[in-house]
Structure 1
């Protein structure tokens, strides 16, 4: 496939990549991936993703954000609180010149994470606060919306957010259309090729509003195998197949979409 890719949502600072990051980066470049938009989940990750952007300048484009679920990779995953956000707030300002977006932020109303109204309300407070920060810094947002697509898009619109990526979007088509009308973009990882409902969404969302992502190390073609940014080619091929268009057109359009959505990428990787 000709052209080059932007992975619009991955976790290159995840511990799963600690031991062989050099090899992962080498395979990423060989697959034609030119920019990794790398998100965080917790405040403890912020320094690591900034450090990686210095080690791999022009490749790693950092995003900082507090995810609606905390404790990833542990037995104690739980809904986010304002206390999780507090240590992050000064870091958004400190690294404002380095980051290309605020993310990964959003809502996760999966019942075992947020069984009570109070937890859902606190998630929304953390989300709104980070949307305010994104407006203050004039940055787009990289958004998670599991079991909460309608509420997530409602809050984005209510807060006047113009530039948002709804990553691994799995909401209803009618909700996706609300996001489209607001000008938002949608991205899909390699795992979507196993999901027929997602094919209907991909068919209906115009290519001009689609970006490519891997969400690596999660959401690869095999859930038991670590996903890597090189697998972005699988997302591209699947979208091309569903839409009945050449993969080259998907590469070209999704890369242009990424550069529109994240304007600071033009300085970083081109």
Structure 2
């Protein structure tokens, strides 16, 4: 049976995906309180590929308000990385978000960087890839990963300059794009320059769908595939096949799982828990 796509980055529960043409859902987390929720999806062991991670932006205490992550936020997550390491597909969603209204001070950015480096080091120690968020911080994000010796990484919804992306390509990193790229041509230059061997598909469900203010779903991964195919002048089948192989190569646990089943989907969900950062 022909395999479906791998949704390399989403935040959604596992319902109704078997009909979506998605083989694997790589489910990422943003906060420690999401870790248990991801692990509760054990009834879909061949569909959901869980990840633990702390996003650079955390709940700010009021609706819609975010604050930069701090090392104190990592304290309760570190033991969980190690406790559940055998079940994790990657460390994510981690990264840097230097958007001015989210990280207005150097202290905010320094705190994000400290947590990012700590989680990169945990990923290396556990021999896991990383699933990375980067906004208004592409160059620093890629440089930091290279400095920490990271060789297996997915930069999701990447919007940095092509020159920075190509630095990531040299380091072996992969880049994924959600259905939101269909809204305009802003990513066309980047997608054209990235080798197909370094591209993956994602939805970032329930966000970043083809239309603003509408809930995104893993089934929309076909839109990302079609758009990338159009931009690169390839068939959707070629893009779907290549991106699935790329995802399996990166998330090796998912690849091993797929040797037993070819009809499910991986969703990466950030999971945390590990020894105290050195």
Normalization by structure 2: what TM-score?
0.90
Partner residue in 2 for 1:62: 50
Distance between the aligned counterparts of 1:55 and 1:69, measured in 2?
A: 30
Distance between the aligned counterparts of 1:40 and 1:75, measured in 2?
A: 17
Cα deviation, residue 100, structure 1: 0.6
2:163 to 147, 153, 174: 174
Partner residue in 2 for 1:141: 130
Cα deviation, residue 32, structure 1: 1.3
Partner residue in 2 for 1:212: 201
Contact 1:57 1:268 in 2 (8 A): no
Aligned residues: 257
Distance between the aligned counterparts of 1:30 and 1:75, measured in 2?
A: 33
What whole-Å deviation, never above 9, does each CA across 1:223-244 have from its counterpart, x for those lacking one? Answer: 2110011110000010011111
Structure 1 gaps of 5+ residues are 14-20
Give secondary structure in 2 for the equivalent of 1:35.
strand
Partner residue in 2 for 1:10: 10
Higher helix proportion (structure 1 or 2): 1
Give secondary structure in 1 for the equivalent of 2:116.
helix
Distance between the aligned counterparts of 2:126 and 2:257, measured in 1?
A: 17
Partner residue in 1 for 2:217: 228
Give secondary structure in 2 for the equivalent of 1:29.
coil
Give secondary structure in 2 for the equivalent of 1:264.
helix
Contact 2:94 2:119 in 1 (8 A): yes
Pairwise CA RMSD: 1.3
2:37 to 31, 39, 48: 48
Cα deviation, residue 3, structure 1: 4.3
Partner residue in 2 for 1:75: 64
Q: Does 1:188 align with 2:177?
A: yes
Cα deviation, residue 34, structure 1: 1.0
Distance between the aligned counterparts of 2:140 and 2:184, measured in 1?
A: 23
Contact 1:63 1:103 in 2 (8 A): yes
Give secondary structure in 2 for the equivalent of 1:97.
helix
Give secondary structure in 1 for the equivalent of 2:92.
strand
Distance between the aligned counterparts of 1:49 and 1:91, measured in 2?
A: 13
Contact 1:12 1:49 in 2 (8 A): no
Structure 2 gaps of 5+ residues are 260-278
Give secondary structure in 1 for the equivalent of 2:208.
coil
Cα deviation, residue 266, structure 1: 1.9
Distance between the aligned counterparts of 2:53 and 2:3, measured in 1?
A: 30
Contact 1:109 1:120 in 2 (8 A): yes
Normalization by structure 1: what TM-score?
0.93
